[in-house]
Each structure stands twice: as C-alpha cells, then as structure tokens.
Amino acid sequence: MGLLSDGNTERVVLVLSHDYAGDDLLNEVKKLVMSSKARRLTFYVISPDGRPKYFQKLRPMISSIISTSFTVVYGGSTAEDLRRLLKSIDGGIVAAIIVGNCDEFKEILESSGINYKVLG
Amino acid sequence: MSLRKFLRVQALIIKFWGELAMPDYEVIITSDRTMMSNHHGKEFLGFLTTGPALFLPERMWLWLAAPKVRVDSEGRPVEAPYGLRKVEAKLVDAGFKAAIVDPDYLEKHLGSVKVLMVGHHDFFAYGPPSNEWWLLTGKEPVNRVSFINFMRSDAVRKIKGKGAKIIVGGPAAWQWLWELNFWEEFGVDTVVDGEAEKVIVDVVEKALNGDPLPDYISVGPLDTPSVEEIPTIKGASVNGLVEVMRGCPRGCRFCSVTLRPLRHIPLEVIEKEVKINLMSGVSSVLLHSEDVLLYGGNGVKPNPEPLIRLHELVRKNFKGPIAWSHASLASIKYSEDNYGLISKLMNDYVLNDEQKFLGVEVGIETGSPRLAKSVMPAKSLPYPPIKWPDVVEDAFSIMHENYVIPAATLIVGLPGETPDDVVKTAELMDKLKYYRSVIVPMFFVPMGNFRNRDWFNKHYLTSEHVDLMLKILQHTLYWAEDIMNKYYVKEPHLAPVRLCLKLFLQYVKWRASKLLPTLTATVTR
C-alpha cells in the first residue's frame, strides 16, 4: 500500500488567522509530533492567505519536523471551507489548532464535536 | 496535383504517421538544461552551473558547464540525472507510461502528457556552493536562471495550460517554501521532499485520476525505501553514476542525509546498472555514496572485502575511468593504515592505461578540533575529534601518494565558530599545501540573507576569514593549474573546454592579484 493510502496517519486541522506570527504553532506541533504514535501526519490547513502563500506561516513548523512523514493539504479560507473540509476528511482528527483570532471557526469545530486548542 | 502540393501532402502523411507512432507518455519527467547534461563527460564541470557566468557570455558559460545531451527520436536523453532515473523506473515498474524527456523536446508530448514531474538538486540556488557564489558576486547563479527560464518556457506553460499536473521534487524540494511566488506563478501542484520511491506511485495515480493532491509531502526516515523497494534504473545515468549505498552513520549536524537509515545496494544490482550505462555508450563509472569507503562496512569502519569485490566487479565490465562521488577522510586514513586498501584499490583496480587518477569529493569542514567535536563529533571516527586535523593531513598525504585527487569542502561561519576556530583552519591549510587537491569554502548562510551583502561583509570579512580565504585561493589556484596540465580534460575533443577553463583560471588569478593588496591589508590590520 502506498504511503498516501496507508492507514497509520494522524490528522491535524490547522486554522491560521491572517495576523498570526510567532512560534506558538511550532512549539505545539513539536509536542504533537513527540507524543504521536502514528507513523505519519496530515495537516489540513485553513488560511486566508491562499495557496501557496500560507506556507509562509508554516515554514518553521515544516523545517522542524524531521522524524515523521507528513503531508500538507490546503482546505480553503472560509468557515464554509472548514465545514466542507471536516466532512471530507476520512478518519478521526487527532487535533485541531486555531492560531490567532478565528471565532467563527471555533463554532464549526465545536458543532462537529472536535476538541481544539487556541494559540496566540 | 502540382509537385509542390504533392510534397506538402507527403510531409503531412509522414508527420501523421510519425505522431501516431509516438508513444503516448502520460507522465513526463524532466529538468532544466543545467541538470539534463553530462557536462562534457566531466562530472566536476557540472559545478560551473552553480555560479554566475563570469568572464564569459552566459550562453558560452552554459555550453561549458552544461552542454546538451544526445537524445533519441522521442526526445529521451541518452543520459539523465540518476534521481530522475529512479523515479522513472518506479513508475514504469508500476505500469505507468512514463519517460524522462529532454527539456527541449517537451512539446513533442503535448498531446499525451497529463503529469509533468520536475526534479532538481538546487532549484533556486540556495544550496552550496550556489548560494555563496551568489553572495560573493551579487549575480544569480546560472542554475537558478536556467531553471526559472525553463519553468517559464512555452512548453511548460502549454503543458500546464492543458490541465496537466506539475509535481516537483528532489533534494532541494524545501527551497520551494522560500519561493512561494514562483510556486504560484508556475502552477506547481505538489512538492515532494525526501526519498520518493514509496510515495511517488500514489501521487501519480491520484494526479492521473484527477483526485485532489496534497500541496507538500515530506518523507521521513521511517518511510524511506528498503533496498528491495529501490528500483533498478531503466536508462543510463549522467556520467555513469551508480548508487552503492544510501544514508550515512556519522550524524553531522549540518547534514540531512545522516537522518536516513544506512542501506547497502547489492553487488548484482550495482552491476546491472553499470551494464545499463555501458550499453548506452556512457564511458565512465561514478560510484555514488555519502562515503563510498563505507560500502559493506561495519558502522564507521571500512571493510576491505566488499570494496575489493565492488571494484573487481566494475573492472570486470569496464576498463575506462572510475570515480567516487564522496569519501570521508577518516575512512581513507583508516582503510590505508589498517589494510593498505587505498593503494590496493588504486594499484590493482583503478589505475591503468586509460586512467591516471581518481577524483572524489571529501569534507574537511573545519581545522578546529573544538568545532569538529561540537558539530561533527562522528566525522573523525574511529579517531577522536581532537585528532581531526591530523586525520585530514594524513588522508591528504595518502591520496596524494596514490593519485586520488580530492575536491575538498570547508564550511565557514558555522554557528558557534570563533576567530580561533578560523585560525586553526587556516593553520591546517598551511599543512595541506603540499597535497594535490582543490579546496572550496562553503559559507554558512542563514536563509533570507543571500541577497544581503551587508550581512556577508559583517560576518565574513574579519581578518581571520580573509587570511583563510587567501590561503584557500592560493592553494586551489596552484593545484588547479597542476591538475589541468597533468590530469584533467586532456581528451583531444575537449580542447575548447580546456581552453575556456584555462582562460577562466587566468582570469581568477588576475582578479585575485588585483584584490591581494586590499585583502593583505585587511589581514595585517
């Protein structure tokens, strides 16, 4: 079975606000990687910066993950995009991290029964 | 029907049948000219692509550094970068209609291509030594210019325009994270970072099915392919490069390869790939590993038996030039001191009527035992880091005596480096001046500072650094001329290349002589 199809993957949703800056996400993801039992991670990203500009905020995080395979998937920028993303994800979401000021997204995660952490 | 009309109809019929006969490759693998070249059969000349065009017009520089390769009627190159060959082999083995195509022939496959895969080892010139030539000269290196022009070419635009997916990858995949504007402009769909064998079939399948693709895939150490999962190449590699080992056990802090597990490629697979290259007319064998002398070895200690068998096998099939991509200085010293292995390999297998020397890249990195212990404590193993300068000098002496000619790297500006570390490195350069070699400094440049000359001046123009650079320059200019005169690029058909290189050397000497008074004043200040 190919790497992308393998079931041993943990899914993490990241919601990044436009004004986010800093190391909070990096530190949180490092903790997640160290505690993860899964072989791989998939990050689903909601960001108003669009693709691929959203990688500007993810660069430190990506550079720091050296022990685990991971993929990054862009899910869009709006609350509706997040709703659609959550419906499309096949499998459980191990963590959701909201970075910055994103109230409308919190409601969607709450209504989907997904626990999330807020940073920044 | 007039003759003119008849001939026109004939041409159309021939074109029709020709296109009908063209295999319909749905996956095209390619790169720009600086990668898709055999560098006149001289692997080391490829390093000229990492610099800007100096003294010569850019077109001439590109011809010198990266001439076109021979292609077949489908535009498939006779020799292609080894990494691309591995991707091609994996996809072909999985049943895809995939092929490596020369960048000048992409439009031949416009009708069939659905996925364009582009590989490179230094997409945007952020790797060494490209980044330092950029910093020193203020001009973009030709590999960056060539790649950007390639991605902006009509062929690539048309391929993207018809809805094909673009997947990029290679050792420099991380560089796309720093060039997001280009990522957007070129319409790249997915960036793959790491050893791709276990992921690439999935990605291509998704791309062909029209499924959503991830933006970024990073393959970690646990998902690197086993030896059985690494495919055998289907076509020849540039200058006969053949992998003998993957990974490295030394754990140097500045190197990402060491994070991956060590895998030794079986001799029968190596032989198969050597034969594929030879049958395609490639006239050299380049054994590739991070440390060729650790092939079949025990951790960091070379084992003579597998190395002898490896070279026996190559010589059984081929009498021409053999080279090693990399070897560690500690391995060179250990294997000669304990087994007489370097002299045995050179005298019994490498040197013959067709080969008078063996080229290899080695890493000095620093002459400071303190810094060696801090950033690369296992580089000197099995010798202790305190002995590192002696290991370097002994290894250079062994190489000189046995006609092994190294191109050696030094890393300047490592985090934690002190002026005393630089002085120790300069002292080591004094000891190495007797040994035939080329030494190239690599500047440690944090991301974001390549265009910042002020940053460079502030960090690298101390008197200690200038003293070190002067010694390196004098060493390399002296020995480069000796190597050119006695060993390198001696084939008659390469006379124009030789002339250009000699002129370039003279130019560098002249420029250095002009700068010498200023540089000497800096040192004595």
Interface subset of B 192-251, CB within 8 angstroms of A: 194, 198-199, 201-203, 205-206, 212, 214-223
β-pairing verdict for B241-243 and B98-100: unpaired
pLDDT tens string, chain A, 120 residues long: the values are 455 656 678 899 999 987 776 778 888 888 888 887 777 899 999 999 999 999 999 998 998 888 889 999 999 999 999 999 999 988 888 888 888 877 889 989 989 888 888 887
What CATH number does residue B186 fall under?
A: 3.40.50.2300
B122 pLDDT above the threshold of 80:
yes
Distance, in Å, from the CA atom of B437 to the CA atom of B233, rounded to the nearest integer, reads 33
Burial class (CB in 10 A: 0-12, 13-18, 19+), B285: buried
Contact B222 A62 (CB under 8 A): no
Q: Say if B397 falls within a structural domain.
A: yes
The alpha-helical segments, DSSP class H, found in B280-340 are 304-317, 329-339
* Residues B152 and B293 grouped into a single domain: no
Output helix, strand, coil percentages for chain A, rounded to the nearest 5.
35, 30, 40
Report how far Cα B213 is from the mean position of its chain's Cα atoms.
Answer: 29
Quick: pLDDT tens for B180-190. 999 999 999 99
Best of B213, B217, B229, B257 to disrupt the A interface (most A CBs within 10 Å) is B217
Place of tokens 């994996």: B90
* Residues B100 and B156 grouped into a single domain: yes
Longest CA span, chain B: 88
Contact B214 A2 (CB under 8 A): no
Q: Does the beta carbon of B177 lie under 8 angstroms from any beta carbon of chain A?
A: yes
Burial class (CB in 10 A: 0-12, 13-18, 19+), B380: buried
* Residues B180 and B287 grouped into a single domain: no
The structure's pTM equals: 0.91
Distance, in Å, from the CA atom of B150 to the CA atom of B141, rounded to the nearest integer, reads 14
Q: Measured between alpha carbons, how far apart are the two ends of chain B, in Å?
A: 88
3-state secondary structure of B28: strand
Distance, in Å, from the CA atom of B391 to the CA atom of B398, rounded to the nearest integer, reads 11
What are the chain A neighbours of B176 within 8 Å (beta carbons)?
52
* Residues B305 and B343 grouped into a single domain: yes
Q: Annotate B432-465 with DSSP letters as a single string.
A: HTTS--EEEEEE---TT-TT-HHHHHHHH-SHHH
The answer to whether the bond into B52 is cis (omega within 30° of 0) is no
Contact B217 A55 (CB under 8 A): no
* Residues B357 and B258 grouped into a single domain: yes
Q: pLDDT above 70 covers what percent of chain B?
A: 92
Neighbours of B219 (CB within 10 A): 25
Buried b (16+ CB within 10 A) or exposed e, B239-254: bbbbbbbbbbbbebee
Distance, in Å, from the CA atom of A88 to the CA atom of A43, rounded to the nearest integer, reads 14
What CATH number does residue B262 fall under?
A: 3.80.30.20
Are B221 and A67 in contact by the 8 Å Cβ rule? The answer is yes
* Residues B121 and B142 grouped into a single domain: yes
Q: Between A and B, how many residue pairs show a Cβ–Cβ distance under 8 A? A: 80
Minimal Cβ distance to B216: which of A3, A5, A71: A71
pLDDT at B154: 98
Interface subset of A 34-53, CB within 8 angstroms of B: 39-40, 42, 51-53
Contact B177 A59 (CB under 8 A): yes
Average pLDDT in chain B: 91
Pick the last residue of a domain from B172, B192, B223: B223
Burial class (CB in 10 A: 0-12, 13-18, 19+), B351: middle
Q: Say if B517 falls within a structural domain.
A: no
Q: Does the beta carbon of B169 lie under 8 angstroms from any beta carbon of chain A?
A: no
β-pairing verdict for B263-264 and B245-246: antiparallel
Distance, in Å, from the CA atom of B224 to the CA atom of B201, rounded to the nearest integer, reads 14
What are the chain A neighbours of B175 within 8 Å (beta carbons)?
none
Give the distance from residue B167's alpha carbon to the nearest chain A alpha carbon, in angstroms. Answer: 14
The total of structural domains in chain B comes to 2
Give the distance from residue B202's alpha carbon to the nearest chain A alpha carbon, in angstroms. Answer: 6
Contact A69 B220 (CB under 8 A): yes
3-state secondary structure of A95: strand
* Residues B311 and B455 grouped into a single domain: yes
B401 pLDDT above the threshold of 70:
yes
What are the chain B neighbours of A55 within 8 Å (beta carbons)?
177, 180, 183, 215-216
In the structure, what pLDDT confidence band is assigned to residue B332 with cuts at 50, 70 and 90?
very high
B345 pLDDT above the threshold of 90:
yes
Q: Does the beta carbon of A5 lie under 8 angstroms from any beta carbon of chain B?
A: yes
Give the distance from residue B197's alpha carbon to the nearest chain A alpha carbon, in angstroms. Answer: 10
Residue of A nearest to B201 (CA): A2
Q: What is the CA radius of gyration of chain A?
A: 13
Contact B215 A66 (CB under 8 A): no
Minimal Cβ distance to A4: which of B174, B203, B218: B203
Distance, in Å, from the CA atom of B337 to the CA atom of A13, rounded to the nearest integer, reads 56
Sign of torsion over alpha carbons A84, A86, A89, A95 = positive
Q: Domain A9-119: give its CATH superfamily.
A: Glycogen Phosphorylase B; (3.40.50.2000)
Contact B216 A5 (CB under 8 A): no
- Please give the backbone phi and psi of residue B281, each rounded to the nearest 5 degrees, phi first: 95, 10
Contact B222 A39 (CB under 8 A): yes
pLDDT at B405: 96
Distance, in Å, from the CA atom of B143 to the CA atom of B64, rounded to the nearest integer, reads 13
* Residues B162 and B288 grouped into a single domain: no
* Residues B142 and B267 grouped into a single domain: no
Q: Name which of A116, A82, A75, A76 is nearest A99 in CA terms.
A: A116
Residues facing B242 on adjacent strands: B287
Q: Which domain does B290 fall in, by range?
A: 235-488
Q: Name which of B505, B509, B523, B489 is nearest B45 in CA terms.
A: B489
> How much is the average pLDDT of B184-211?
96
Does the interface ipTM go beyond 0.85?
yes
B253 pLDDT above the threshold of 80:
no
B404 pLDDT above the threshold of 90:
yes
Distance, in Å, from the CA atom of B179 to the CA atom of B181, rounded to the nearest integer, reads 5
Are B439 and B432 in contact by the 8 Å Cβ rule? The answer is yes
What are the chain B neighbours of A3 within 8 Å (beta carbons)?
198-199, 202, 219, 223
Report how far Cα B209 is from the mean position of its chain's Cα atoms.
Answer: 34
* Residues B394 and B431 grouped into a single domain: yes
Instruction: Give domain limits for chain A.
Output: 9-119
Neighbours of B443 (CB within 10 A): 22
Pick the last residue of a domain from B165, B189, B223: B223
AA identity, residue A1: M
Are B468 and B415 in contact by the 8 Å Cβ rule? The answer is no
Quick: pLDDT tens for B76-92. 999 999 999 999 999 99
Best of B201, B215, B260 to disrupt the A interface (most A CBs within 10 Å) is B215
Contact A3 B184 (CB under 8 A): no
Give the distance from residue A71's alpha carbon to the nearest chain B alpha carbon, in angstroms. Answer: 4
> How much is the average pLDDT of B317-327?
95
E runs forming strands in B290-429: 322-324, 358-365, 404-412
Interface subset of A 51-110, CB within 8 angstroms of B: 51-53, 55-56, 58-59, 62-63, 65-74
Question: Which helix or strand (DSSP H or E) is residue B350 part of?
Answer: none
Are B284 and B321 in contact by the 8 Å Cβ rule? The answer is yes
Contact A2 B218 (CB under 8 A): no
> How much is the average pLDDT of B12-23?
61
B452 pLDDT above the threshold of 70:
no
Q: Annotate A26-72 with DSSP letters as a single string.
A: HHHHHHHHHH--SSEEEEEEE-TT-TTTTHHHHHHHHHH--SSEEEE
Best of A71, A81, A89 to disrupt the B interface (most B CBs within 10 Å) is A71
Q: Say if B497 falls within a structural domain.
A: no
Distance, in Å, from the CA atom of B382 to the CA atom of B347, rounded to the nearest integer, reads 25
Contact A55 B216 (CB under 8 A): yes
Distance, in Å, from the CA atom of B483 to the CA atom of B100, rounded to the nearest integer, reads 35
Best of A55, A58, A68, A84 to disrupt the B interface (most B CBs within 10 Å) is A55
Q: Say if B250 falls within a structural domain.
A: yes
Q: Say if B3 falls within a structural domain.
A: no
Give the distance from residue B217's alpha carbon to the nearest chain A alpha carbon, in angstroms. Answer: 4
* Residues B269 and B153 grouped into a single domain: no
- Please give the backbone phi and psi of residue B288, each rounded to the nearest 5 degrees, phi first: -115, 135
Question: Which helix or strand (DSSP H or E) is residue B237 part of?
Answer: strand B236-237
Contact A71 B184 (CB under 8 A): no
Distance, in Å, from the CA atom of B51 to the CA atom of A112, rounded to the nearest integer, reads 54
Quick: pLDDT tens for B225-239. 999 999 999 999 999
B67 pLDDT above the threshold of 50:
yes
> How much is the average pLDDT of B408-422?
91
pLDDT at B488: 83
Minimal Cβ distance to B215: which of A3, A69, A74: A74
Distance, in Å, from the CA atom of B477 to the CA atom of B497, rounded to the nearest integer, reads 18
Contact B180 A53 (CB under 8 A): yes
Distance, in Å, from the CA atom of B262 to the CA atom of B291, rounded to the nearest integer, reads 11
> How much is the average pLDDT of B429-447?
88
Neighbours of B110 (CB within 10 A): 14
In the numeric block, which tokens belong to residue B213?
A: 């693709």
Minimal Cβ distance to B183: which of A40, A52, A63: A52
Are B451 and B405 in contact by the 8 Å Cβ rule? The answer is no
Are A42 and A96 in contact by the 8 Å Cβ rule? The answer is no
Minimal Cβ distance to A62: which of B177, B183, B256: B177
B518 pLDDT above the threshold of 80:
no
Contact A53 B198 (CB under 8 A): no
pLDDT at B13: 67
